[in-house]
Chains A and B, each alone.
Chain A
Amino acid sequence: MSAATQYYTITIVVYVCANVIAAWGLDLQFGVTGVLNFAFIIFQAVGAYTAGVLSLGPSSSSGGFQTYLFGANLPFPLPIIGATLAGGALAAVVGLITLRRLRSDYQAMVMLVVSVVATIVVTAETGLFNGAAGLSLIPNPMQGIAGLSRQTQSWIFTAFCVALMIAIGAVMYAIVYSPHGRVLRAVRENEHALEALGRSATRARIEVFVIGGALAGLSGALLVEFIGAWAPNGWLYPETFVFFTAVIVGGRGSVAGVAIGAALIGVGIQQAVQYMPIGSDPTVLAAVEWIITGALTLVFLWARPQGLLPERRRRFARSVDVAPR
C-alpha cells in the first residue's frame, strides 16, 4: 500500500471512529432519551481544546505564537482522559441549568443560544484558546514511542481509535438494552407518565447529558490529536446538525444504525462530494455537502423517520410456565 493510500485510509478510519463516538453521545441524549441538545458541538470543542492545551505545554513555551489557558505537556493518553472529563463536566454545568426547570422546546432554544455564545466568546477572547486562529502544532500523541516511523505511529493511533470505538459501542449496548435504557426511552415517550411511576425524568436527562457530553469531548480529543489543530470555524453551531442528521438517518435509538449514519453523513458525504463533477472550489464543495446533509434530514424525517436501521424492538424470552391462552 502506498504512503498516500495508507494516509488516506488512516484519515478515513480515524474520522469515522471519532464521528461514531460523537454520534453515539448525541443518540443517547436525543435518540434514546429525547433531549434536544442543539449545543452538542461545544462539548466536542471543549474536549478538543482540553486535549490540545494538555498536550502543548505552557503557552509561554511557544514564544507567544499562540496564547491559551493553563497548558501542560501530559503524556498519552492523559490529554484524552482530561478531554473526556471536560466534556462531561461542561455538560453537567449546562445540564443542571437548562434541564431542570425548562420545557423541552425552551431547552432546545437555550442550547442553541449557548452554542452561538460559546463560539463568539472563544473567538473574541484570545487568551482562552488563541481566538479565531485556534490551536495548532498539537504534538502527535504517539511521538513518545521511540524507534517507530511516523506512519507506524499513525497506524497505532488508528488501532487505538478503533478499539475505543468498539469499547464505547459495548458501553452503548449495555446502557440502551438494560432496564436503565428502558427508563431513558420512557422519558422520551412520556415523561409525565414516567414520573407518575416514581422515576425522575430530570435525573435521567442529566445523566445522559453528562455521558453524551463526555463522549463528545472524547471524540474532539481524538480529532485534535490526529489533526494537530483546532479552530472555532471547525465547530460553528451548524456542525451540531451534522450529528443530528447522522442520528436521524442512521436510526434514532439504534446503536448500530447511528454508527452507520455517522460514517455515511460525517465522512461518506464529504468523500462523495470530492468525486462529483462540480469542480474543486472548497467553498462550493462545502456548500454541496450542506445541501446534501439538509436534504437527507428532510427526506428521512418525512419518508423514513425510523432511519436506515430502526431502533430494535425489545423482546423478552417467554417462560415455559406462562402459556398463551
Chain B
Amino acid sequence: MLRRERGREPAPRADRDRAEGGGRPTSDMLVVNDLARAYGGVRAVDGVSFSVPAGSMAGLIGPNGAGKSTVLGMIAGAIRPDRGEILLAGEGIAGWSPVSVARRGVIRTFQTASVFARMTVLENVLLGVPPWHGERLRSAFVGRSAWRREEAAQVKQARELLERLDLGAHADAYAGELSGGQKRLVEIGRAMMAQPRLLLLDEPMAGVSRTLAAPIEALIEELRDGGMTVVLVEHELGLVERLCSPVIVLAQGRVLMQGEMAQLRADPEVRRAYLVG
C-alpha cells in the first residue's frame, strides 16, 4: 500500500550490520563522489568529493554559503542530489529518503537542536533507539509483556546516559523547557542511543553557552575515541583542530582543500577564502 524506497525495504539493524560493506569492500565508511545540488541558478554544491575513513572524525568547514549543510543534508537524505554518488560502507545511498538512510545507520543532528519539545527528556533519548518491534501498532495490543521488558532495559540505558550527560535530574522535564546547550546534549545523547555507523553533527556548538561547550566537546571527543565515524560541520575552528582529522574545506560549493588543520591554516588559498589570522 505504501511506496517502498526504490522497491526495497531497508534491512533491520541486525541484517544491516551483517551486510556492512555489502557493496564494494572499503575501509572508508563514507565516500562522496562528484556530489552536486543547485537551487535555481545557484549551485550550492558543485562536484564535491571526499572520503571519511571508518572510525575517524572528519571536519567539514568553510565560510557561510559554502555548501556544508547542503552536503550534510544530501548524505542524510533530506536533500536529493542532482548528481553524484554517496557510498556508506560501499553501499550507494544517494537519493534515499531520510528514513531509509537513518535505518542504514546514518544519524544526524540539526543546526538548531531538534528535540521533541512536549515530550520528556527521557522519552527524547528513548526515541534514539533504532526502530524496534515494540513501536509497531499491533504491539500496542499483542506481546505487551515482551516489549515492556525490552522498554525497561532501554529506559535503564537511557537513564545511565542522561546521568553521564549530567541531565539525570531533568529526565522527566519536557525537553522544550531546557536551555539551548542542554537541548544539544539531549540531541547528541539521542544520537548515541542509536549507535550509528555514521554520525553527522551539524554545528553542535551553535547557540551553546560557554558553560556547556566544554561538556559537549568532551562528549564529541569521547565519541571519536570510541571509534565512531563522525562528520562534523562546525564554525568553531579550534574545536575542529582539536578533534578532527581529516579536515575538508569547502568554498562556493567545491572542495578547496583537505588535510590536517595545520596545513590548511598555512595554505594561502584557504586563508584567502576562509581563514583569518
Contact = CB atoms under 8 A, between A and B. Distances in A.
B120 A314 contact: yes
A321 B137 CA distance: 31
A206 interface: yes
Interface stretch (A102-110, A143-151, A192-200, A231-239): A192-200
Interface residues of B, number: 50
Nearest to A321: B156
Interface stretch (B18-26, B108-116, B231-239): B108-116
A325 B168 contact: yes
Given A186-B116, A315-B120, A315-B172, A195 B152 contact: no
Contact of A178 (B78, B116, B140, B159): B140
Contact of B1 (A96, A198, A319): A96
Contacts of A318: 159
A322 B136 contact: no
Contacts of A321: 156
A152 interface: no
A87 interface: no
Contacts of A198: 99, 102-103, 130-131, 194
A189 B119 contact: yes
Interface in B125-143: 126-128, 130-132, 134-137, 139-141
B190 interface: yes
Contacts of B135: 179-180, 182-183, 199
Nearest to B159: A322
B250 interface: no
B102 A180 contact: no
B147 A179 contact: yes
Interface string B62-97: 000000000000001010000000000000000001
Secondary structure of the A side of the interface?
helix
B122 interface: yes
A185 B140 contact: no
Interface residues of A, number: 41
Contacts of A192: 78, 98, 110, 114
A100 to B, nearest CB: 8
Contacts of B190: 197
Interface string A164-192: 00000001001100111111011011101
B123 interface: yes
B151 A179 contact: yes
Contacts of A182: 119, 123, 126-127, 135
B249 interface: no
B2 interface: yes
B225 interface: no
A174 B168 contact: no
A189 B134 CA distance: 20
A169 to B, nearest CB: 14
14 contacts: A178-B140, A178-B147, A180-B134, A182-B123, A186-B119, A188-B118, A193-B115, A193-B116, A197-B128, A197-B190, A206-B2, A319-B152, A322-B159, A324-B169
Interface of A: 92, 96, 171, 174-175, 178-183, 185-186, 188-190, 192-200, 202-203, 206-207, 311, 313-319, 321-322, 324-325
Given A180-B136, A181-B140, A197-B107, 9 more contacts: A179-B134, A182-B119, A185-B118, A192-B98, A192-B110, A195-B98, A197-B131, A202-B2, A318-B159
